[in-house]
Amino acid sequence: MRWLALLCGFWVWTASAEVALVEQYRAGTDHWPAAETDPSVQAAPLARLPAEPPYPADNPYSTAKRALGKQLFFDRRLSGSQQLACASCHDPDLGWADGRRFSIGHNRQVGETNAPSIINTGYQTRLFWDGRAASLEQQTRASWTNPIEMAADPDTVVARLRHIPGYAPLFTEAFGDSAVDEQRIIQAIATFSRSLTSQSTAFDRFLDGESEALSDAQVRGLHLFRTKARCMNCHHGALLSDEQFHHLGTSFHLVGNFEGRYRQTGKPEHVGAFRTPGLRGIGATAPYLHTGMAGDLDTLLALYNIGWWQNAELKDKPDDIPTAQLSPLIKPLELKADELADLKAFLHSLTGDMRYMLMPEELPALE
């Protein structure tokens, strides 16, 4: 019976320690234990996003420009086939992503990567999985004219919009006159995209001092996120992203774009490295990773838990591309089932109302 008493005592001690830890977090951020990261990482504290993203000097915010951008964002007439809109791959009902492993573009072509959500992209310094765009204006034009995506010819689209009377007053309100040109189209769409932010989540309320905004399981998951689960090595700050590029092991499958940042820099260390996505809204944006290979959070966490694939040998890799090396920040976690459940619960606290901006009731008519 002594072993039973010892077991019960250990259970009571463990439960008491968990209660104390939860209460420590509920007392406010000043009382949180220190985050645990690798020596090479300088992690910013978890925080709220600024109230508004920065707007560039050459494309300042206006309500009218945002309203025009919203119409253009949902208008299929902006694509080469007139069958695709920006919203075809960035649907408000799907967390401003599209719910597919790989997006379907012009003439049913399959894209190379999973479409990331555009929520909070106004705060990012690099866009696309490989970071090839430095602004939403660059990103908008690249996707709009990409032959696999919207396959638009800007001159053709400009001429098309000039013949839609309903757009004239919208351009006038946004820019002072009714002239339609490529730059104005891009600026309006970028302004609308920049306005899509995730500010009201359970986690944000918890940061604000609403101590009961998170459940006990979510608080335990927050602690794991900051310590044992090693998430803070890459996911930190207000965006929950270091905005850097890391190879997790996905390129070992040679699926889609497996070169990653290497395409832009030519640096061997960037083979297979992709931008760290922010985690805000993660509960609404499955599937995950640039390949969409993780269909749900359970699968995603399981992959991290095993440490991915430790520098697997590649078959059929092109000889002119260096061999990818797994990020040194990726290591087996050995989390137990209850810990994975708590971590998943915390991740869900990072998702607020992702559907607050719906499709316009009607688009400008031809007459």
**Consecutive 10-residue averages of pLDDT for the chain (367 residues):** 49 67 92 95 95 95 97 95 93 90 84 89 94 96 93 96 96 97 98 92 96 96 98 97 90 67 88 93 92 93 86 63 85 96 98 69 64
Tell me whether residue 246 is annotated as binding. Answer: no
Predicted confidence at residue 6, as pLDDT, reads: 44
Q: Which pairs count as long-range contacts for 70-75, CB under 8 Å and 24+ apart, including other chains?
A: 70/192, 70/357, 70/360, 71/167, 71/170, 71/360, 71/363, 71/364, 72/185, 72/188, 72/189, 72/192, 73/189, 73/192, 73/193, 74/359, 74/360, 74/363, 75/363, 75/364
Predicted confidence at residue 313, as pLDDT, reads: 55
Tell me whether residue 231 is annotated as binding. Answer: yes
Tell me whether residue 8 is annotated as binding. Answer: no
User: Distance between CA atoms of 261 and 246, rounded to whole angstroms?
Assistant: 9
Tell me whether residue 106 is annotated as binding. Answer: yes
Which domains can be identified in the chain, with CATH numbers? 63-194 (1.10.760.10), 199-348 (1.10.760.10)
Model pTM? Answer: 0.90
Predicted confidence at residue 2, as pLDDT, reads: 55
